[in-house]
């Protein structure tokens, strides 16, 4: 144990850690070498150095590529965490030296991106225009591991109770219902929307593993209907928009996202209640991890915008206000 502690504390260098992450990402010595801009023999030599220092096999090589062993998985996790801290410190010092105001990394679900996060970043930029905000979009399955590794400073999205854990701090901001949407001019807007009509229309649904998918299907069953047979499954908002427009499909999004889309002329809301129980939208941070001043400022902006959304104060453009008053809006 003392030998391993000495290696981890003193002997490993950044180039060793970068190699481990590259090998895990590409699972191939040649592609890792290309990514790192070194030769393949140099990659093999550096990997041999790490193995010799640790005295443990980290990767198994086969015809399928380079696969991490159990020890390799642990070392890659360690490498990602150290490199994330290094990059954060480097960026903060560089920002301070250049007169900028820092950098923060946010993992965001679609439910939070176009209104909550966009408005909070606008407030942040008004106070510190040179602050950099890196936004990575995804779901909890993809983003929480990055938060735990330090690659993200916070997460913004739905607080699914199944992902609660002792190492995570959660803070609910507001409740956000779902609504059904179609493209502007869709035939469903010309008559009262019903679940029967939705069951007969092409539909974009969440993937089968998503809890929202089960809840939406239960709504069809509750009305004595089978869910639509003509469906596309996706967790991507861009894919949702694409199939809503190209196939004339209906899909389900958060109400603030739908209103934002209506303001942009890309979506139209159906006048159809979608009474499903959903967790609130909020923040997740790593417990015990101090926030940088930039992240604290962004969190304060998120709380301010979230409080307004909780009171029903949806930020809107003039075009949105006109759309909301139009007979076509929300039919």
Across all residues in the chain, what is the average pLDDT? 87
Of 265, 222, 224, 217, nearest to 241 by C-alpha is: 265
pLDDT at 62 over 90: no
94 domain residue, yes or no: no
12 domain residue, yes or no: yes
The token pair that represents 169 in the structure block: 């701090």
Which one has a higher pLDDT value, 237 or 91?
Answer: 237
48-85 in b/e form (b: 16+ CB < 10 A) is ebbeebbeeebbeeeeeebebeeebeebbbebbebbbe
Residues 133 and 186 in one domain: no
Express each pLDDT in 178-204 by its tens digit.
Answer: 999 999 999 999 999 999 999 999 999
pLDDT at 316 over 80: no
90 domain residue, yes or no: no
Q: What is the pLDDT of residue 217?
A: 95
Domain termination site, one of 50, 81, 112: 81
58 domain residue, yes or no: yes
Express each pLDDT in 93-125 by its tens digit.
Answer: 766 655 456 889 999 999 999 999 999 999 999
Question: What region, left, alpha or beta, does residue 201 occupy, with left being phi > 0 and alpha being psi -120 to 50 degrees?
Answer: beta
> Is residue 131 very low, low, confident or very high in pLDDT (cuts 50, 70, 90)?
confident
Domains in the chain, number: 3
Q: What is the pLDDT of residue 64?
A: 79
Residues 166 and 192 in one domain: no
CATH of the domain at 119: 3.40.190.10
Residues 131 and 262 in one domain: no
Residues 236 and 258 in one domain: yes
Domain termination site, one of 81, 112, 139: 81
Q: What is the pLDDT of residue 282?
A: 97
Residues 168 and 299 in one domain: yes
pLDDT at 328 over 50: no
Domain termination site, one of 48, 81, 114: 81
pLDDT at 7 over 80: no
> Is residue 133 very low, low, confident or very high in pLDDT (cuts 50, 70, 90)?
very high
Residues 135 and 62 in one domain: no
Give the 3-state secondary structure of residue 160: coil
Give me the helix-helix angle, 255-264 and 318-325, nearest 10°.
100
- The residues, any chain, with a CB within 8 Å of residue 106's CB and separated by 6 or more, are 117, 133, 134, 135, 136, 152, 153, 154, 155, 156, 298
Q: Which of 32-41, 250-259, 287-296 has the highest mean pLDDT?
A: 250-259
Residues 172 and 290 in one domain: yes
Q: How confident is the model over 9-13, as a mean pLDDT? A: 79
Residues 40 and 12 in one domain: yes
pLDDT at 319 over 50: no
Q: How confident is the model over 120-133, as a mean pLDDT? A: 90
Residues 171 and 104 in one domain: yes
Residues 105 and 230 in one domain: no
Residues 160 and 244 in one domain: no
322 domain residue, yes or no: no
Domain that includes residue 26, residue range: 2-81
Percent of the chain predicted with pLDDT > 90: 57
Residues 6 and 65 in one domain: yes
């Amino acid at each position: 144990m003392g030998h391993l502690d000495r290696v981890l504390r003193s002997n490993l260098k950044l180039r060793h850690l970068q190699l481990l992450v590259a090998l895990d990402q590409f699972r191939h010595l040649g592609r890792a070498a290309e990514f790192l801009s070194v030769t393949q023999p140099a990659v093999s030599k550096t990997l041999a150095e790490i193995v010799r220092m640790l005295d443990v096999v980290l990767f198994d090589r086969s015809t399928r590529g380079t696969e991490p062993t159990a020890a390799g998985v642990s070392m890659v996790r360690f490498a990602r965490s150290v490199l994330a801290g290094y990059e954060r410190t480097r960026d903060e010092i560089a920002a301070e030296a250049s007169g900028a105001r820092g950098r923060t990394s946010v993992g965001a679900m679609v439910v939070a991106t176009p209104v909550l996060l966009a408005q909070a970043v606008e407030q942040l930029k008004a106070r510190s225009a040179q602050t950099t905000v890196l936004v990575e979009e995804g779901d909890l399955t993809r983003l929480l591991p990055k938060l735990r590794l330090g690659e993200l400073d916070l997460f913004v999205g739905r607080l699914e109770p199944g992902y609660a854990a002792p190492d995570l701090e959660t803070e609910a901001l507001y409740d956000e219902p779902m609504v059904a949407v179609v493209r502007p001019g869709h035939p469903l807007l010309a008559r009262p929307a019903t679940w029967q009509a939705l069951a007969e229309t092409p539909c974009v649904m969440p993937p089968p593993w998503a809890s929202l998918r089960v809840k939406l299907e239960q709504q069809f069953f509750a009305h004595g209907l089978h869910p639509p047979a003509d469906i596309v499954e996706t967790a991507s908002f861009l894919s949702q928009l694409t199939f809503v427009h190209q196939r004339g499909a209906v899909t389900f999004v958060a109400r603030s996202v739908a209103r934002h889309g209506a303001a942009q002329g890309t979506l139209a809301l159906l006048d159809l209640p979608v009474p499903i129980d959903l967790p609130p939208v909020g923040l997740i941070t790593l417990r015990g991890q101090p926030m940088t001043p930039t992240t604290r400022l962004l969190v304060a902006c998120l709380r301010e915008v979230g409080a307004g959304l909780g009171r029903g104060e949806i930020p809107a453009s003039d075009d949105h206000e006109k759309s909301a008053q139009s007979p076509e809006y929300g039919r």
